[in-house]
Structure 1
Amino acid sequence: MIDIFIFIIGVVIGSFLNVCIYRIPNEESIVSPPSHCGSCNHKLAAKDLVPIFSYLFLKGRCRYCKEKVSIRYLLVELFTGIVFLAIYEKYGLALITVKYILAASIMIVISLIDFDTTDVYQEVTHFGIGVAVIFDAIEIFKYNGDFKNYLIAVLIAGITFGIIVYLICGMGAGDLDIALIGSLFLGWKLTIFMILTSFILGGIIGVILVLLKIKSKKDYIPFGPYIGMGFLLAIFIGSTIIEKYYSFLL
């Protein structure tokens, strides 16, 4: 029953993340006006806003103007529910579960906005940094966490993206903000894993896109989604891979 509850919460939050992903780049409030169709602007009723089921029942179309609704709304809801459930299954009923659930939600919003617009919005990154700092403070002052763990993580992310990437490779400053958020949530070991994984994924997928002629060598490819993927992999398998790596060295 808890698994079902966590999944449902994730799906509902995923529906809200869809609102954030759509409205923030358009400089609209995420709470007002009420949800409406992006094509005909008709206000949506409660029965139109049931996550997953409304999309399936209406066959992916607006009830009022019959315009097709992007399947990504459904996929974001499903993905968020699965991520929430996976985090709970790995970490159980603990503060770290809440921490990573919030972090994953923030990363989903940032990654998809960056994918759509190639922009990273400060209202989202500042919120993410603020949430991360709150959890770090709770861990440090209440549970005797190591302050240096997060300080080193921030330095690693700052040096990597601030100097090597931003100044030399010409990536946007938004990538630095995303990496800083990840580092504040993860600590230094998992931050290294996140950064390495994001570069590997970005390189592989970038080459594939060029080979398939979806992108050219001159096209800008947003890097935020790869940092987001690296972050999710870090919280799920990062510690296991790091332990195996240490065992191999020993």
Structure 2
Amino acid sequence: MLISYLFLLGACLGSFITCIATRCALNQNQFNKRSICDYCGTKIPWFDLIPIYAYLRLHGHCRFCKGLFPAYSFIFECSLAAMLPLSFTQLSLFEFPLIIAFLFYLTFLSVMDFTNRLISSRLTIGGGILFILWHYLLFGFPDSLIAIILFSLFLFVLCFQQKLGLGDFILLIIVQLTFGVQFCLIATLFACISSLIYFFTVKQSRCQFFPFVPHITFGVYITIALSFFI
């Protein structure tokens, strides 16, 4: 029964985070306002806001104008619905809040990146420092200083050569300092695979910035989930 409640809670939190992040990205500060369709402006009834179910029931479209809702909301609802009970059963009471809070943090940044191809440096760095200190106070640094410096230099070279955006660079440094070099390498591998699939399947103008933060988030989700079974 508890697992079911955690599943529902994860789905609801995923829906809430994507909504708040979208409004922040669009500079819409009326967080107490009802959700409306981005295409026709009609207020969305409460039964069309039920996480996961409503998206599947309506096939991802507005009930009134048939406008297409963003798929990332559904993806994050499902992801957090799965990760919340899974993490609760696999992690200690000290690890569970850290992991879930970090996933919320990444999800928020991902939605912002998807929405306007830009993430807040203040939010990224401020949240990153919090998680690095949180992990350090509980478990210490995940790697030796030499490993941290070498991997950071590698990421810096990629950023300097414009193979990696500054926001992506900062976020990967945060992932490394929180979970370690090996974790970051595996998460980056999954992020690269995900981004290649996205690049070849989604039509995108060449002049558009590529949203890599959601793929980093995907990599972190998968790496955490795999760590429970390996």
Aligned to 1:248: none
Aligned to 2:33: 33
- Structure 1 window deviating more from structure 2 (76-85 vs 119-128): it is 119-128
Q: Compared with structure 1, are the counterparts of its residues 62 and 214 closer, same or farther at alpha carbon in structure 2 (3 Å cutoff)?
A: closer
Partner letter of residue 160 of structure 2?
L
Query: What is the TM-score with the length of structure 1 in the denominator?
Result: 0.71
Aligned to 1:101: 100
Aligned to 1:160: 154
Instruction: Give the superposition deviation at 1:101.
Output: 1.0
Aligned to 1:136: 135
2:217 to 204, 208, 228: 228
Instruction: Give the superposition deviation at 1:164.
Output: 1.6
Matches within 5 A, 1:110-129: 110-129=109-128
1:194 to 175, 184, 189: 184
Does the 8 A contact of 2:11 with 2:77 survive in 1?
yes
Does the 8 A contact of 1:20 with 1:30 survive in 2?
no
Q: Compared with structure 1, are the counterparts of its residues 2 and 239 closer, same or farther at alpha carbon in structure 2 (3 Å cutoff)?
A: closer
Partner letter of residue 183 of structure 1?
Q
Q: Superposition RMSD on alpha carbons, in Å?
A: 3.6
Does the 8 A contact of 2:142 with 2:177 survive in 1?
no
Q: 2: CA distance between counterparts of 1:32 and 1:154?
A: 43
Aligned residues: 228
Identical-pair percentage: 19
Instruction: Give the superposition deviation at 1:37.
Output: 2.5
2:170 to 161, 164, 177: 177
Does the 8 A contact of 1:110 with 1:120 survive in 2?
yes
Instruction: Give the superposition deviation at 1:177.
Output: 2.1
Matches within 5 A, 1:72-91: 72=71, 73-91=73-91
Q: 2: CA distance between counterparts of 1:204 and 1:137?
A: 30
Q: Compared with structure 1, are the counterparts of its residues 217 and 18 closer, same or farther at alpha carbon in structure 2 (3 Å cutoff)?
A: closer
Does the 8 A contact of 1:129 with 1:184 survive in 2?
no
Does the 8 A contact of 1:19 with 1:30 survive in 2?
no
Aligned to 1:245: none
Does the 8 A contact of 2:131 with 2:178 survive in 1?
yes
Larger Rg belongs to: 1
Deviations 1:49-95 (A, max 9, x none): 322334445564445x3433426233331222112222223215x12
Instruction: Give the superposition deviation at 1:27.
Output: 1.9
Q: 1: CA distance between counterparts of 2:148 and 2:33?
A: 37
- Structure 1 window deviating more from structure 2 (216-225 vs 38-47): it is 216-225
SS of residue matched to 2:67? coil
SS of residue matched to 1:149? coil
The structure with the greater share of residues assigned to helix is 1
Q: 2: CA distance between counterparts of 1:45 and 1:216?
A: 34
Query: What is the TM-score with the length of structure 2 in the denominator?
Result: 0.76
Gaps (5+ residues) in structure 1? 140-144, 242-250
Q: Compared with structure 1, are the counterparts of its residues 151 and 42 closer, same or farther at alpha carbon in structure 2 (3 Å cutoff)?
A: farther
SS of residue matched to 2:142? helix
Q: 1: CA distance between counterparts of 2:223 and 2:49?
A: 33
